[in-house]
Amino acid sequence: MTPVLRCAGLTRSFGALRAVAGVDLTIAPGARHALIGPNGAGKSTLFKLVTGTMQADEGRVELAGRDVTGLSEVRRCRMGMSQTLQHSSLFGSMTAAETVELAVQRHNASRISPVRSTRPATRERAEALLADVGLGGRGGVLVPALSHGERKQLEVALALACRPRLLLLDEPAAGMSPAESSRLVELLAGLPSEITVLFVEHDLDLVFSLADAVTVLHLGQVLLSGTPDEVRASEAVREAYLGTGRRSELFGPAAETSGGSDVPAGS
Amino acid sequence: MRTLSALTAAPTRSGGSAPTARRPRRWGALTGALVVVVLATAPLFLAPFATTTLTRILVFALFAVSLDLLVGVTGLPSLGHAGYFGAGAYAAGWVSLNVTAEMPVPLLAGAAVGALAAALTGWITVRSRGVFFLMLTLAIGETLQQVAETWQSVTGGANGLTGIPSTRIAGQPLTNAGFVHWYVLVFFLAGFGLVWMVARSRFGAALRGIRDNEPRMRALGYPTALYKYATFVLAGGVAGIAGALLVAQQRLVTPADLGFTTAAFALLAVIIGGAGSLWGACVGAALVIVIRDALGPSLGGHGTLVLGIVFVVVVYGLPRGVAGLRRLRRNGTDR
Ligand SMILES: Nc1ncnc2c1ncn2[C@@H]1O[C@H](COP(=O)(O)OP(=O)(O)OP(=O)(O)O)[C@@H](O)[C@H]1O
Ligand SMILES: [Mg+2]
């Protein structure tokens, strides 16, 4: 089967820093693929190269077998990629519902009319999406009045509103309360298999409860790509994360892993 | 487990949850209708000079509304918008002098030339941002003014176009101040209605998204440069219509009409009114015209100074302009 996403030799430098250095990545259709790695590993940068927010210095990106390396972010989104950002970036003057309607109307069959206002169908779908991510009844609230966790939920609704084939989530659960975060896991687990998910997450409990494939990024390079069990068993991964240390500290059932999501993002 | 209604094929959710809060539109519509009635009947009880002032307000208000579409709705703070207003005015004046002053012709010429000028200059402009956008629009406005001053054979140079014949409808020239007022009022309403419709459409929602967060709009799949370009051209066309109405009213165009001062006054009107609110821009335009033209002479030529003071007071006292007053009251009662 053609992979939904294939990256080959993706590279991006900031000055002397090679933030993403020759990354090869293949995502199978319907996968729940986690991308993990210590702070500053290049995960967010890799996401930006995939979605076209940032241009790669080298390498290529294929979406469902089609080379999209030269295409703009707008085109890639229209072809079925959508993303949530690590630091939520929304619309300050809009309500939650208006925000989602904006994405829904763009990915409807109908044109963006310069004379007609929002269709009832658009409203309904936006409302349903908000309910799905746990923001039911919060549609009328202005975005700046939402809590941090609610904004992250809104980000997910916004990304889903784009009817993605490939959904990229950059630390979707960071800053969410445990209740919000388990709701998110439930939502992601319940997504239809036509939606392939690639997500970055520091909370390894969440990663291993959801992912069917894991890629570990370290210093801009792929350290390991495999099943969750392979990653759990890997010495190299443990060292990348902790320098040295006992594996149980990292992957044990009662480990301190949830603290990872609270670590502020590296610069 | 919950069903993911929005993601499965046919969402059949019945409207169980509360609809998003709708603002009460009735009072707005009622006030609007009242204002239109007053504007339409004004020539019947106002002296010609007062009527003419009101006409000038309408012309300037339409220009300010077109600028507000850029500044307030799309977040493009243009300093050169008077260029398209003036281009429309020159086109209408030239056509009236050299071809015909018969009704739709000067108006269409103004709209077309305003839009064309915006189309020719807009593509680079909308792709710049921040200070570069300011400088580019400023430069374009200044360039258009230079063209008006030096292209003697067409624009009349520094004197501008004088002795422009009255607009004619079915052969009848509009000489009476009241008829001119009604003529301007009709096209003010048409232009305002057009901008208003665009601003509240799905396209308008996208424009507000671009104003708030353009990179995010691109990530959602909106070709933002194209949207901004279309808006720039539309705003140029509406400014051109306002320019044609200016000519119908004052029957004179000078290079000052497309200079920086005119652009700055329009920006002042938009900010006083509250950027993003179209009716606010009209109120702002009324204030600007009344203070500058009507009260100016009696203030010993200090109209601009008074405007400056009004501006400072508004910026400090009403950060959302006149339109913000209504929002304040609404928040006080409704929430
Ligand atoms: N725009 C930029 N300019 C310069 N350096 C950057 C830029 N973006 C990222 N970097 C650097 O590139 C490296 C990788 O950053 P990136 O944000 O991709 O890491 P990450 O794996 O997402 O980390 P985190 O887990 O903290 O989110 C970091 O060292 C970061 O400082
Ligand atoms: Mg990151």
pLDDT in tens, A46-69: 999 999 999 999 999 999 989 999
What atom in ligand 1 is closest to the CA of residue A43?
Answer: 21
The tokens describing B169, both together, are 């409808």
Rounded mean pLDDT, B197-204: 93
* Average pLDDT taken over every residue of chain B: 85
Rounded mean pLDDT, B161-180: 87
Question: Smallest Cβ distance to A102: which of B4, B5, B205?
Answer: B205
SS3 label, residue A8: strand
Question: Smallest Cβ distance to A117: which of B17, B200, B216?
Answer: B200
Cα-to-centroid distance, A200 and ligand 1 (Å): 13
Q: Is residue A254 scored above 80 in pLDDT?
A: no
State which amino acid sits at residue B23. R
More confident residue, B95 or A175: B95
- Residue range A9-21, pLDDT digits in tens: 999 999 889 999 9
Structure ipTM: 0.85
The verdict on the CB of residue A49 being under 6 Å from ligand 1 is no
Query: Which range is least confidently modeled, A22-31, A36-45, B3-12, B106-115?
Result: B3-12
* Average pLDDT taken over every residue of chain A: 85
Task: Report CB contact under 8 Å: A74, B218.
Answer: yes
Residues in A closer than 8 angstroms to B8, CB to CB, are 192
Which positions 106-135 of A are in contact with B (Cβ < 8 Å)? 106-107, 112-119, 122-125, 127-129, 131-132
* pLDDT band of B333, cuts 50, 70, 90: very low
The tokens describing B36, both together, are 């239109």
State which amino acid sits at residue B222. Y
**Residue A19: count of CB within 10 angstroms of its CB:** 21
Contact B141, B83 (CB under 8 A): yes
Distance CA A254, CA B96 (A): 85
Contact A23, A192 (CB under 8 A): no
Q: According to the model, what pLDDT value does residue B130 have?
A: 85
- Residue range B211-249, pLDDT digits in tens: 999 999 999 999 999 999 999 999 999 999 999 999 999
Query: Which range is least confidently modeled, B81-90, B129-138, B297-306?
Result: B297-306
Q: According to the model, what pLDDT value does residue A176 have?
A: 84
The verdict on the CB of residue A80 being under 6 Å from ligand 1 is no
The verdict on the CB of residue A105 being under 6 Å from ligand 1 is no
Contact A190, A12 (CB under 8 A): no
The residue length of chain B stands at 335
Cα-to-centroid distance, B83 and ligand 2 (Å): 46
The verdict on the CB of residue A21 being under 6 Å from ligand 1 is no
- Distances in Å between the Cα of B80 and the Cα atoms of B118, B130, B258 are 10, 14, 8
CA-nearest of A100, A99, A124, A103 to A112 is: A103
Pair type for strands A32-36 and A196-200: parallel
Task: Look at phi and psi of residue A211 and say left if phi exceeds 0, alpha if psi is from -120 to 50, else beta.
Answer: beta
State which amino acid sits at residue A256. E
Using CA atoms of B275, B278, B279, B282 in order, give the dihedral in degrees to the nearest 10.
80
The verdict on the CB of residue A15 being under 6 Å from ligand 1 is no
Q: According to the model, what pLDDT value does residue B204 have?
A: 94
- The residue ranges of every structural domain in chain A are 1-80+164-267, 89-163
What percent of chain B has a predicted confidence (pLDDT) above 90? 55
Task: Look at phi and psi of residue B162 and say left if phi exceeds 0, alpha if psi is from -120 to 50, else beta.
Answer: beta
Residue of B nearest to A133 (CA): B4
Distance CA A261, CA A128 (A): 28
Task: Report CB contact under 8 Å: A113, B20.
Answer: no
Distance CA A45, CA A17 (A): 12
Q: What is the largest CA-CA distance in chain B?
A: 78
Is B335 exposed, middle or buried (CB count within 10 Å of its CB: 0-12, 13-18, 19+)? Answer: exposed
SS3 track for B108-176: HHHHHHHHHHHHHHHHHHCCCCCHHHHHHHHHHHHHHHHHHHHCHHHHCHHHCECCCCCCEECCEECCC
- Distances in Å between the Cα of A75 and the Cα atoms of A68, A142, B179, B220, B256 are 9, 29, 52, 10, 44
Residues in B closer than 8 angstroms to A95, CB to CB, are 20
Q: Which helix (H) or strand (E) holds A11?
A: strand A5-14
- The residue ranges of every structural domain in chain B are 2-331
The verdict on the CB of residue A264 being under 6 Å from ligand 1 is no
Cα-to-centroid distance, B217 and ligand 2 (Å): 21
What percent of chain A has a predicted confidence (pLDDT) above 70? 90
Cα-to-centroid distance, A46 and ligand 1 (Å): 9
R_g over Cα of chain A: 18
The verdict on the CB of residue A14 being under 6 Å from ligand 1 is yes
Instruction: Kindly state which CATH superfamily the domain A1-80+164-267 is placed in.
Output: P-loop containing nucleotide triphosphate hydrolases (3.40.50.300)
* Nearest ligand to the C-alpha atom of residue A217: 1
Strand partners, A18: A13
Residue of A nearest to B18 (CA): A137
CA-nearest of A162, A6, A134 to A77 is: A162
- Residue range A72-123, pLDDT digits in tens: 999 999 999 999 988 888 999 999 999 999 999 999 877 888 878 878 888 9
Q: Which helix (H) or strand (E) holds A223?
A: strand A221-226
Q: Which helix (H) or strand (E) holds B55?
A: helix B48-68
* Nearest ligand to the C-alpha atom of residue A267: 1
Pair type for strands A5-14 and A17-27: antiparallel
More confident residue, B266 or B14: B266
* pLDDT band of A1, cuts 50, 70, 90: confident
Mind telling me how many Å the CA of B223 is from chain A's nearest CA? 6
Class of CATH domain B2-331: mainly alpha
Q: According to the model, what pLDDT value does residue B9 have?
A: 35
What percent of chain B has a predicted confidence (pLDDT) above 70? 89
- Residue range B5-30, pLDDT digits in tens: 444 333 333 333 334 444 556 787 88
Q: Is residue A250 scored above 70 in pLDDT?
A: no
